[in-house]
Amino acid sequence: MEKLTKQLIKTAKSAANNAHCPFSNYPVGAALLSKSGKIYKGCNVESSSYGLSVCAERNAIAAALVDNAQAFSALVIYSQNGATPCGACRQVIWDVCGEIPIYTVDENNNTKEYNSKNLLPEPFGAHKLE
């Protein structure tokens, strides 16, 4: 997994280079690993109407879903200071990926490992809609 994690980090950093963040100047990149081994990347896309902005994590998830990927193994998020996902992303990660490891990486390559259930304890999910 270490070699794969390094590839995910490289992919997330690369995705951050494509971020559209003219308002915050805070590029974020994400790399989502499917259980089939394919890596999906996303970057943050900001809008002048801030509520319409979309985070890198959700863009990576959307790219995977467009490709019909349905099971995931890990997510890496790269930002200048290794920020964790926002609340909206935590919910979408839970809904689509379930319990997976999430790694944050900063510009100095400091890496922290989390788990989606730790980042969103007592999650709301499909089981609550039954």
For the stretch 75-109, pLDDT in tens is 999 999 999 999 999 999 999 999 999 999 999 99
Order of strands, edge to edge, in the sheet holding 39-43?
39-43, 29-34, 72-78, 101-105, 111-115
Structural domains of the chain, with CATH: 2-125 (3.40.140.10)
Please state, in angstroms and as integers, the Cα–Cα distance from residue 108 to each residue in 15, 77, 82, 83, 94, following that order. Answer: 17, 14, 9, 13, 28
Beta bridge partner(s), residue 34: 72
Tell me what the mean pLDDT of segment 107-129 comes to: 91
pLDDT, one tens digit per residue, over 38-86 is: 999 999 999 999 999 999 999 999 999 999 999 999 999 999 999 999 9
pLDDT the model gives residue 129: 82
Confidence of residue 123 (pLDDT cuts 50, 70, 90): confident
CB 55 within 8 Å of CB 75? no
Active-site annotation, residues: 57
